[in-house]
Amino acid sequence: MSRLAKAAVAVLAALFVCPPLLSAQEATAPAAATPAVPSAPIPYTQLRPKPAPVRRAAPARPATTKLQAPAPVVPTVVGALLPTTAQGARLATGEALPPGELEPFVDGLVRDAMAADHIAGVTVAVVQNGQVVMKKGYGFASLSPARRVDPDRTLFRLGSISKTFTWIALMKEVEAGRMGLEAPINLYLPERLQVRDQGFTQPVRVRQLMDHSAGFETRQLGHLMERRYERERPLQQYLRQERPRRARAPGEASTYSNYGVALAGAAVSYVADKPFERLVEDEIFVPLGLSRTTFREARPVRQGLPGPMSAAQAAGLSDGYRWVGGHFEARPFEYMGHIAPAGSASSTAGDMSRYMLMLLNNGTLENATVFGPVAARAFRTPLRRTAPGINGWAHGFVVYDLPGGVRGYGHDGETLSFRTRMVLAPALGLGVFIAANTETGARLTQEAPEALIRHFYTGDQSFPRAGDPALAQSAHLYDGYYLPAGRARGGLEAFVDMLRGGVSSQVTPAGRLLLGGREWTPDGDARQGRFIDTMGNQRLAFNVESDGRTFQDSSGGDLFERAGFWRRPPTLALLAGLTALAALATLGGVVTRDRREFRQTSIQSRIALLQNTQAALWLTAIALFVAWAAKTGDAAEVMYGWPHPFLVIASACALVAAALTVATVVTLPAVWRGGRRVDSWTPLRKAGFTLTVLIYGAFSAVLWTWGALSPWSG
């Protein structure tokens, strides 16, 4: 390859190795709003000295405040798993955590993470058997001025944990007989918000919003979060203006949808005839005494929008941070009030303690009963049949497969800056809430609850898990590039989703599956498509009956489909490199071509001008795509600045170049007819022109199918 060609390919490669954007599952998706299978370095528990073994003595009485619960948790009422004591386990299922040993363990876990991953602030709450065992703040809620995290006063953005309040409000309406889970959601919506048929015969039902199987495509860039409060819209206006396409039949597969949850919140509000924010305050926050939990946001009063949060709440808000250039960079407040039911809530560790105690006690705390036995059972009953270890959506709550065979429930949350997780293990009477105010906090929030349960309630486990040599024989079932089924289906956002939202899967010689930056080992027979993380408890389930064309991860947030050759980033990169090379060769020929090759017919002269224009447009488009990609290191800039002018202009240039390519295809016969030898291109130049047309044509076709030729779609 020539030096010029190598340089062109190197520049194009930059487009495909830039840092990832937000995942296709939106910024508040569960378990990883990052691509569905985020990378996983060595767990913190293996980076620090192992704490001393827990003595099997009766636990000391916690020094924290005891909250009176009217009745103990009765797991059998809601079908909680009750595993036997694991071999070598530190505590039996019925034993409580010793507070004197719990706090040092959590301290070490959190402080190691804050140092390793550069996290500004963390808040933690642990409850068990009707008591707050631990609540604590670490680091800073604000660096300028300096303000430390206070577990009772510092509000962290909850992200998608907000959805659990929405599901409680909905189930209360179900218990009251005003809504039905099997009823079409349109029965509970005003006409202008009702879901359109869009070619589907079956209506979207209430339960399909709770298990994210309504079939909506995922669109988020430029509107899921706002940097300026002036851009906020009322919930109903947002739902009407940002209505997504229906990409799949309802009930077919779970594809995580913030829009679907917001629609459910709007339905509950419509049925109850109350603004959503007031509804959850009246029905949940006030009865539970959650004075520092709110869906309202810190902004000035504005007509047509819900009122802002109180001054006391606003004073306790934590800033959100990004670690860049060796220091913390504060991000602006993330406004999400326009899609409040899906993710705008903020809370403290103290309030989340009370919330978890209520959930563990089947809807009751002290003298307040938030929901009844029907809802309590629903929140621990999966709606979907899934493979072992894969979330089946317990009426909106995530189902977790925890260490030691313990089944957990809860939700994860993610905004641009905040990472949160709430895990409830009814069999242990245990609830864990953890939140970080820095975008690098995902590893800590994801691993901490499992690390705690593994340390105290399961036997010693050796990591990494060994591979299985038999996996190599089934490599064809799993190797490939997979795209999320819930991705945007058209326009520039579809282009970004296909470019950045997929994951590659490859079987290694060691008998492991390398997928999404993690290594997985077969969980049973290598041909059955079940895998477990070599360093943790996460799982994958491939549909081997369809030759491995789909898989789901533990979150159950999306279905991943194997992409064909033309829908893979390496194919796009190859064609982009060839296009750049052809364009450079075309323009270079204008300067270096032998004078005898300038002999041409009048039509060849016009086609030469057309070819040179194409070359300039393709090079401009590719250069702008690369320049835009270089600016995607901060997901906040992508979200707030969507669509970037570089991307729109690049798409417009590519669209014109592709249209000109169609014209050159039509003129090919005229080029080859030429005329007399002395008045026509040489055969070599005709062949070169034909090759250029074929390259441009293939690149144009791929860009069209990817959605990159739609500059208006931003």
- Looking at every residue in the chain, the average pLDDT score rounds to 86
CB 447 within 8 A of CB 467: no
The residues pairing with 436 across neighbouring beta strands, listed in sequence order, are 122, 419
Q: What is the mean pLDDT of residues 170-191?
A: 98
Six token digits for residue 177: 């007989």
**Of 2-6, 182-186, 326-330, 368-372, the least confident:** 2-6
* Amino acid letter, residue 441: G
66 vs 138: which has the higher pLDDT? 138
User: Per the confidence metrics, is the pTM higher than 0.95?
Assistant: no
* Backbone phi, psi, residue 395, to 5°: 50, 50
CB 499 within 8 A of CB 14: no
On the question of a cis peptide bond just before residue 75, with omega within 30 degrees of 0, the verdict is no
- Please give the C-alpha separations between residue 250 and each of 102, 125, 394, in angstroms, as whole numbers: 45, 37, 17
The residues pairing with 146 across neighbouring beta strands, listed in sequence order, are 143
DSSP character for 70? S
CA pair distance 430, 361, nearest whole angstrom: 11
% of the chain with per-residue pLDDT over 90: 72
**Residue 62: band (very low, low, confident or very high) from pLDDT cuts 50, 70, 90:** very low
Return the number of other C-beta atoms located less than 10 Å from residue 47's C-beta.
Answer: 14
Condensed to tens digits (0 to 9), the pLDDT of residues 277-286 reads 999 999 999 9
CB 572 within 8 A of CB 706: yes
Is the predicted pLDDT of residue 532 greater than 50, yes or no?
A: yes
CA-CA-CA-CA dihedral for 631, 635, 637, 640, to nearest 10:
140
Q: What is the mean pLDDT of residues 500-512?
A: 93
Q: What is the mean pLDDT of residues 147-158?
A: 98
Condensed to tens digits (0 to 9), the pLDDT of residues 599-640 reads 667 777 788 889 999 999 999 999 999 999 988 888 898 999
Is the predicted pLDDT of residue 82 greater than 50, yes or no?
A: no
Q: What is the mean pLDDT of residues 141-163?
A: 97
DSSP character for 378? H
CB 106 within 8 A of CB 412: no
* Backbone phi, psi, residue 406, to 5°: -80, 135
- Domains of the chain are 3-24+566-713 (no CATH), 131-457 (3.40.710.10), 469-563 (no CATH)
pLDDT confidence of residue 674: 60
pLDDT confidence of residue 544: 83
Q: What is the mean pLDDT of residues 200-216?
A: 97
Q: What is the DSSP string of 668-700?
A: HHHHHH--SGGGS--HHHHHHHHHHHHHHHHHH
Is the predicted pLDDT of residue 206 greater than 90, yes or no?
A: yes
CB 163 within 8 A of CB 174: no
CA angle 107/41/324 to nearest 5° reads 80
Condensed to tens digits (0 to 9), the pLDDT of residues 337-363 reads 999 999 999 999 999 999 999 999 999
102 vs 668: which has the higher pLDDT? 102
Residue with token string 């690098």: 440
CB 410 within 8 A of CB 360: no
Reference 225, options 304, 322, 329, 343; nearest CA is: 343
Q: What is the DSSP string of 576-621?
A: HHHHHHHHHHHHHHHHHS-GGGG---HHHHHHHHHHHHHHHHHHHH
Condensed to tens digits (0 to 9), the pLDDT of residues 392-415 reads 999 999 999 999 889 999 999 999
Reference 261, options 204, 190, 199, 299; nearest CA is: 204
Is the predicted pLDDT of residue 491 greater than 60, yes or no?
A: yes
Condensed to tens digits (0 to 9), the pLDDT of residues 470-479 reads 999 999 999 9
Q: Residue 314, by phi and psi: left (phi above 0), alpha (psi -120 to 50) or beta? A: alpha
CB 142 within 8 A of CB 155: no
Condensed to tens digits (0 to 9), the pLDDT of residues 425-450 reads 999 999 999 999 999 999 999 999 99
CB 26 within 8 A of CB 218: yes
Six token digits for residue 383: 């709606």
Q: What is the DSSP string of 147-186?
A: EE--TTT-BEE-GGGHHHHHHHHHHHHHHTTS--TTSBGG
Q: What is the mean pLDDT of residues 454-466?
A: 83
% of the chain with per-residue pLDDT over 70: 85
Six token digits for residue 470: 């038999």
pLDDT confidence of residue 49: 34
**Residue 304: band (very low, low, confident or very high) from pLDDT cuts 50, 70, 90:** very high
Return the number of other C-beta atoms located less than 10 Å from residue 509's C-beta.
Answer: 9
* Backbone phi, psi, residue 515, to 5°: -145, 125
Six token digits for residue 58: 């009766």
CA pair distance 141, 701, nearest whole angstrom: 50
